[in-house]
Amino acid sequence: MPVRTRRSETEKDEEKDGADDDHDGHHGHHHGDGHHGRHGDDGDPHAREGGRSGMTAPGDAAPGPAPAPARGEGLDARLVVDRGAFRLDIALTAAPGEVVALLGPNGAGKTTALRALAGLVPLTDGHLRLDGTALDRTPPESRPVGVVFQDYLLFPHLSALDNVAFGPRCRGAGKAEARARAAEWLERMGLSEYAGVKPRRLSGGQAQRVALARALATRPRLLLLDEPLAALDARTRLEVRAQLRRHLARFEAVAVLVTHDPLDAMVLADRLIVVEHGRVVQEGAPSDIARHPRTDYIARLVGLNLYRGRAEGHTVRLEAGPAVTTTEDLTGPVFVAFPPGAVTLHRERPTGASARNLWRCEVAGLETHGDQIRADLTGELPLTADLTTVAAAELGLHPGTPVWAAVKAAQTHAYPA
Amino acid sequence: MTTRSAPRTRRTLRTAGAGVAALLALSGCSSAGSGDAGSSSEPSGTLTVFAAASLQESFTKLGKTFEKQHPGTEVTFNFGGSDTLAASITSGAPADVFAAASTRTMRTVTDRDATAGPPRTFVRNRLEIATLPGNPDRIDSLEDLTRPGLKVVLCDRTVPCGAAAQSALRTGGLRLTPVSYEEDVKSALTKVVLKEADAAVVYRTDVRAAGDKVEGVEFPEAVEAVNDYPIALLRDAPNPGAAGAFIDLVKSAEGRKVLTAAGFLAP
Amino acid sequence: MTGARAQGPAPAGPGPGPHAPPRRPARRTAGRRAPLPLLIPAAAGLAFLLLPLLALLVRAPWRSLPEQLTSAEVWQALRLSLVCATAATVLSLLIGVPLAWLLARTDFPGRGLVRALVTLPLVLPPVVGGVALLLAFGRNGVVGQWLDAWFGITLPFTTTGVVLAETFVAMPFLVISVEGTLRAADPRYEEAAMTLGASRFTAFRRVTLPLIAPGVAAGSVLAWARALGEFGATITFAGNFPGRTQTMPLAVYLALQNDPAAAVALSLVLLAVSIAVLAGLRDRWMTAS
């Protein structure tokens, strides 16, 4: 049970927290990041804990399985929700300061999990503890949870400022105080000039930031983001993703985001939990998951050819039929993965011995993939291969063209299943 | 049928004077059917009778008798407030017979020459006080109705029973503030039947028709406020043969028997 | 009414660009004629609705009108009509909007039946509605007898009775209208409010209600108009007494008995006032939404 180092940081760091977050340099707002007024939050004994210095870049995340939260802090949940024939059953733990992404295809149950965390759907079974407090039976309005909804759900009849002030107001702040707090949040998000603007006049990126400010303004101990970037077009997305990453890095409590986009997940999260059919199929650091996918879904997401097989030394006998030679020396059930770019295609059987792995295939389909051509192959081993447009033209590939596919052993990667 | 009614409709619309008349024509719901108006020897076909609401029980009974006496006939009734019916008739509603609850109302029809021959009074009706069963408020006279705290309903003075009640009150030199001026005699009675009002000034026949749901109290001033019920064959009657026969039945001894049983007085 | 849905995320321009969408998208197809199969029945429909009103105007006793309208009873009846219709609308709002919310947002056994029951006053002949009210709230009614015995309250023959009768027939219009709007509105706004710490009631009051305001306004106008024209239930339940329970429709009906000209005059007054009020409200509310 690795105790995360940043847990041991004391309140002194936290004092700095507000200041070093405010790199935009607005003075006179040292109290404006949400610490101010905390003495009012009597009901939250952990309010001053979980401080950190905002260095949680994805690469820094503790690799491997979920770090167990120490002293009952952070999130500890097993969510079981039955919805007709569908059952969601996932375990979810996260330490304060950690950003966890639930990644999975549509219909995997990610959003249901999020709604269960927020209290919008009841748990059929399991438990939900946040900072040591059981929340299973707590109604959504009493949970210290903030949600950024997929299409933000900003209240259309309220200005940006009043949207953000809504939460503090509901949590008991006076009107003036709530608006002051909201104004601070909008300033942090760089949206001060839009305070009086109604949501329909905000651009997608601005609306996203207002939604984030609104969720954070209640000082949640758990921040939930449902497909936070899905509503944006590609260009805005890039920009907003970077901003969101900054804001999440500053956030001192647990953040759980739901996405079906692997790039969003990898950029924003410290740890990924891959959910398929209501179950966790894999979890770990983004880099680990990208390197060692364990399901076809993840392999497709990270762009790898993935096979299951049985290793005996350097040879892996694949379930799909042929054998693959690898550099790893393993025994027993394994996964073998290699990127499409590692595949070379030949019209004639290559004579050189450089490629140890050679399969007879047939082109099933071709599509452009960036500046490359991606070929879907069937035959001895179904796989995808990337090649340059020039190479594709030289080979004269069409659907139905017979080809030889070669992969060097050094470019395959085998790991225990 | 249609060719006959068309000119009449146009004429009455012209004379009716008010746009509402067209509206009211729609509410005269019964149609004259296809009675053969030519043969006056033996009545047949459909006969349409417009009659005051207070005649409902007795006329319905007489209608059955008529259909029995003259096989092949069918009597349809349109019961309602006399004034409403009169307005329908003058607006061209196809009716054969009109029986009104007051001569004043009948006059609005005769004034427009809508009757064939002068109307005849066939019964008279007298006011009575309807009280709750057992007369718990011990109402014995018209004057008792003026007691404070008593909830009395009258007919609106625009309808015959209301006009009659006002003239009775005038005769007795009484001032009565009811809780409501009801739109017709039946709704005035209903308020007592439902025990919402303590008393209502209605017709004797209505008290009789309500059976034991109300108790009738006669009062002397009623003599001064007797309603004559005139009946007339209408000039544009689609089925004048049957209409005449029906009026004869109403005025016959048999008709009288049914009507007096309902509480009407002989003319 | 569509305000709730229309509020998707705005098209995401890269710049700051808070470009306001046109307030009212031009929906009309300029320069193109409506197809005849629609135009002809539409014209017929309009004519059918307007001709009777036109007839009232044509046959109105214009010469005696001033004298008809100076009668104190007319103004008394008009004032009572306006007061009662407004009170009935307010009462409908107070109890009808929560009812609509219940029907639209919660799931309970027999909800379909309840919804059907709510609309029952629409199909019930108003006179029957009046009798039903008497049987329930009359001096001798199922509930009314206790009101009388315990609080000394009797409702028939009172102005309150008029308001109740009008509410009875008018509220279904409001409930149906508001429920429809609620169904069209995105319930997730309420969820969003709840995650921000709002109780369900606060969410309803501060989020849902403003979102469905146009629907509520439309429903109120419908209910108000229906209450203003109410006759059957009113005269049956509340009776007819000038100044206390005699509203315009009752005055019109009774005038019809022996003075049709006066009835037409009264109807014109009622029509003119309703048109003025409805047109005024429509302009105000529709531009506000």
Cα torsion A91, A95, A100, A102 to 10°: value is: 10
Check residue A299 and give left, alpha or beta (phi > 0: left; psi -120 to 50: alpha).
alpha
Tell me, what's the pLDDT at C15?
37
Containing structural domain, residue B17: 2-124+228-261
CA–CA separation, A18 and A22 (whole Å): 6
In angstroms, rounded to a whole number, what is the distance separating the alpha carbons of residues C193 and A155? Answer: 9
A74-110 residue pLDDT tens: 999 999 999 888 999 999 999 999 999 999 988 889 9
- Asked whether residue B109 falls in the same domain as residue B179, the answer is no
Q: Which CATH number characterizes residue B68's domain?
A: 3.40.190.10
Tokens of C195: 């995650």
C165 — pLDDT class (breaks 50, 70, 90) = very high
Domain count along chain B:
2
Distance CA A190, CA C103 (A): 42
The helix (run of H) or strand (run of E) holding residue A344 is strand A343-346
Q: How far apart are CA C48 and CA C54, in angstroms?
A: 10
In angstroms, what CA-CA distances link C200 with B192, C1, C204, C259?
A: 48, 21, 6, 56
Distance from CA of C120 to the nearest CA of A (A): 34
One domain, residues B239 and B114 = yes
Distance CA(B177)–CA(C241), nearest Å, equals: 10
What is the DSSP secondary structure assignment for residue C208, as one 8-state letter?
A: I
Residue in C140, C254, C261 nearest the CB of B18: C261
Q: Are residues B17 and B120 in the same domain?
A: yes
- Cβ of B195 and C140 within 8 Å? yes
Query: Residue A30: is its pLDDT beyond 70?
Result: no
User: Which band of pLDDT confidence, cut at 50, 70 and 90, is reported for residue A349?
Assistant: confident
The mean pLDDT value for B257-261 works out to: 92
Based on the domain organization, do B236 and B104 belong to the same domain? yes
d(CA C55, CA B164): 34
Query: What is the average pLDDT across A307-332?
Result: 87
Same domain? For B142 and B200 the reply is: yes
- Residue B267 in domain: no
Same domain, B171 and B119: no
Identify the residue among C195, C199, C201, C206 best suited for mutation to test binding to A, counting A beta carbons within 10 A and taking the highest: C195
Q: Is C20's CB within 8 Å of A171's CB?
A: no
**B266 within domain boundaries:** no
pLDDT of residue A355: 57
pLDDT number for residue C3: 38
What's residue B20's pLDDT? 36
Residue range C239-257, pLDDT digits in tens: 999 999 999 999 988 887 7
How far apart are the C-alpha atoms of A337 and A317, rounded to whole Å? 13
Q: Is residue A225 scored above 70 in pLDDT? A: yes
What residue ranges define each of the domains in chain A, with the CATH number in brackets?
Answer: 5-291 (3.40.50.300), 304-416 (2.40.50.100)
DSSP codes joined into one string, chain B = -HHHHHHHHHHHHHHH-STHHHHHHHH-----TT---S--SS--EEEEEEEEGGGHHHHHHHHHHHHHHSTTEEEEEEEE-HHHHHHHHHTT---SEEE-S-HHHHHHHHTTT-BSS--EEEEEE-EEEEESTT-TT---STGGGGSTT--EEEE-TTSHHHHHHHHHHHHHT-----SEEESSHHHHHHHHHTTSSSEEEEEHHHHHHTGGGSEEE--GGGGGGPEEEEEEEBTT-S-HHHHHHHHHHHHSHHHHHHHHHTTPBP-
CA distance A99 to chain C (A): 19
Q: What is the mean pLDDT of residues A4-31?
A: 38
pLDDT tens for B213-252 read 999 999 998 887 788 899 999 998 999 999 999 999 999 9
Return d(Cα A220, Cα A192) in angstroms, integer.
22
Q: What is the pLDDT of residue B180?
A: 94
Cβ-defined contact of B183 to C135 (cutoff 8 Å): no
Per the prediction, chain A carries an average pLDDT of 81
Specify the range with the lowest mean pLDDT, choosing from A20-34, A348-362, B180-194, C117-131: A20-34
Would the CB atoms of C12 and A233 count as touching at under 8 Å? yes
Question: Domain locations in chain C?
Answer: 69-288
Residues of chain C positioned with their CB less than 8 A from the CB of B178: 241
| Confidence label for A195 from pLDDT (cuts 50, 70 and 90) | very high
pLDDT above 90 covers a percentage of chain A that reads 45
How, if at all, do strands A254-259 and A271-276 pair?
A: unpaired
Q: Which two tokens stand for residue A410?
A: 């050094």
The answer to whether residue B82 is domain-embedded is yes
Nearest Cα to Cα of residue B90 among C262, C264, C260: C260
Indicate if B133 and B246 belong to the same structural domain.
Answer: no
Which chain C residue's Cα is nearest to A116? Answer: C195
CA–CA dist A236, A13 (Å, integer): 34
pLDDT at position A281, please? Answer: 92
pTM of this prediction exceeds 0.80? no
User: Is pLDDT at C86 greater than 90 in this prediction?
Assistant: yes
Cα B258 to Cα A83, B54, B213, B226, B253: the distances in Å are: 73, 13, 21, 20, 9
Contacts of B205-212 with CB under 8 Å at 24 or more apart are: B205/B54, B205/B57, B205/B58, B205/B125, B205/B262, B205/B263, B205/B264, B206/B54, B206/B128, B206/B130, B206/B263, B207/B128, B207/B130, B207/B263, B208/B262, B208/B263, B209/B56, B209/B57, B209/B262, B209/B263, B210/B130, B212/B133
pLDDT digits (tens, 9 = 90+) for C9-18: 433 333 333 4
Q: Higher model confidence: residue C289 or residue C208?
A: C208
- What is the predicted pLDDT for the residue at C27? 52
**Res B161 pLDDT > 60:** yes
B187 and B132 in a single domain? The answer is: yes
| pLDDT for the residue numbered C30 | 52
Residue-averaged pLDDT of chain B: 83
Is residue B234 a part of any domain in this protein? yes
pLDDT, tens digit (0-9, with 9 covering 90-100), for C51-74: 988 888 888 888 878 877 787 888
Q: What is the pLDDT of residue C250?
A: 92
Name the C residues in 3-42 with CB < 8 Å from any B CB. none
The verdict on B87 and B145 lying in the same domain is no
Please say if the pLDDT value at position B90 is more than 60: yes
Give pLDDT tens digits for B167-187.
Answer: 999 999 999 999 999 988 888
* Top-confidence residue, C8 or A323: A323
Residue B25 and residue B70 in one domain: yes
Torsion angle of the four alpha carbons C186, C191, C196, C202, in this order, in degrees rounded to the nearest 10: 80
Domain at C69-288: CATH code = 1.10.3720.10
pLDDT at C287 (0 to 100): 53
Enter the ipTM.
0.75
Residues in chain C with CB shorter than 8 Å from the CB of B192 are none
- State whether A142 and C21 contact (CB < 8 Å): no
Is the pLDDT at B121 greater than 90? The verdict is yes
The per-residue b/e assignment along A79-104, b for 16 or more CB within 10 angstroms, e otherwise, is: bbbeeeeebbbbebbbbbbbbbbbbb
pLDDT at site B182: 92
pLDDT one-digit tens code per residue, B17-31: 333 333 333 333 333
Return all residues near A38 (Cβ < 8 A) that are at least 6 apart. Answer: A47, A48, A219
Answer yes or no: is B103 within a domain. Answer: yes
Give contacts of A171 with chain C, Cβ < 8 Å: 196-197
